[in-house]
Structure 1
């Protein structure tokens, strides 16, 4: 849903791959940050991407690590002088190498050391295709994060977002830092509300072109194959996949006012979930698939409610003011992120649904939209405005570390984080 209006929301053509060209700007200080030195990998200057810089940006963005500046080069076979690195205030040291093979692929290797305890923490090696070299850097960042925290890293996952340049709209899939963007579909009419399938192989979205009204489609990313999910009378909008991938929640106005329905993965057997005279929309499934959170103005202004997938009564869950939209649930179902309008400013808020405490603002900006959790629940991506442009941002759950993924190409909106796996 657009952050400015409470309403339901393309010629379309498959496009060739295109790069989004982002750069990451990180600000803020996390509650706990581990200093890590990431010297240049051996032979890094001979390959197209600065692996050490990509790894550092990944680790700093999640708020757990703080990079230590260094001009050194260190590979995985060289034992670092731990006392020298400790003198530079580094608790961890990461070394590695990258080498182009005869067939054009790249051999990427990395090793992590604990400089405080003078301990080898293990390493990683793999071969990647030329187009996946940045992905190799993300995989190393995942290795470091999981080694230190015990949690799965999210840097090698993907995101989707919509770009707008003039009258052209494109749905893109990119690396988790916004780079390496590939166009899924493009249109001269709006494309809105992208939603990843649980297996990461499909994206549902809303297109306005084919029927000159809002229609929900699903598209297989690898092949470009598309199918209609919802093209009923009236408007069809706000798709959200069930956790098992076999059905979707959608907003339909087929019976008059916009209401929440559940349909099969091919649009079959529509079943109405909400029954009100108000606008009910933007439904998302809880992780167990038993409930839906959705937005309704049944109380006078848009608020977030919860109901069973069987239908029935609804319980209000947002209480931070008179205008709350765009719910997003963390993968464990504990946290709810949403957009709240406070004094004319649209900001990302976070509520702990298990604690009963008041929701807190994570941002101090004024034009935020579309929050989406990383698949490990540790970061939230959202769209905002910066210097007159629509940009992508991430924030940690305490709001202390924010990253701006600055596009040099087009306005960027409606981000959604994909699941683990590719």
Structure 2
């Protein structure tokens, strides 16, 4: 008799978890989906420090609800977490919480439990004022120092949209032209999602398609990051003081340089310069521009997720990679609208894109033969090549990608950088 798959999902009441559970709910009912067989009869334990009622799960995920069990406790309580994992016979953890990453992974490793997350969390870093401006790199450093201690588990870390899917895009684009080595590999995102009826926007409110607190951490607290020669470098500006030009064929925009995990991993693995260029909706952009001199006040404003359940959303989220060569550029991206996603999955486009990356990692751990170890997605793809089907799994839902090239290069990051001036539009050339 085949052993039952037991999954424990951390942070089950959050927005990313809703998108992940929605995709699993679809997969459980679709006999053609990669994980249909694994999900049939599986048990899913949902843990959240502020748990939702069962009615939320049964109405949102009816194909999974019969095999769900809910729990409410603090995931930073390592003893209780270990008792849960042992007592339930958990085989795989999907960590979408804010619990300390290294502590949680330590619990999983001792029990040989497979593990997936979308980001690195470290409460000590967040609570240390001296690290303000460098919290992302500090989380990364502390994780990298600990990861080699995890020898019993199979883990894929940072598998959402970015990191995650974008690392797969970068790997795929480079493998299409292995004889040409790019100088730069940039993650690019243009998310112009906002309410279709702008009058729904309230004053003194920060709007974002993902966690506004996490967004402000990158957009206000951390310095812009360039990873070059396998070394993270920082610009002593706030992200919204600077603009960086991006061209993806007919699409042109100017975004801000944010710190992000995949910039570090891609630079380290491929020897390229890397960075994350991000442009958000005009309302949020204008607010940040207006508070360059006093950004701390924004933490006291209301923080609002752009949820289609609260009002119809227009626009779309474009996320991809831009490979820069001496005399040309190549790009690959996915663009998804909440208008298309919400009726099918009950979430916004950004969270759905993240969930597709989680689905890719889940498929890899359950269906592919990989050795115990802790992998970023780009490392996983480099080590296993065609024996890793991460891209096939995520593409079952995220099936539409645009690829193309620019017949000239705008150069590396500093060549495409300029300071923002008051009254300047963040788009150019059309």
Q: TM-score, normalised by structure 2?
A: 0.28
Structure showing greater Rg:
1
Q: Which has the higher helix share?
A: 2
Q: Is the strand fraction higher in 1 or 2?
A: 1
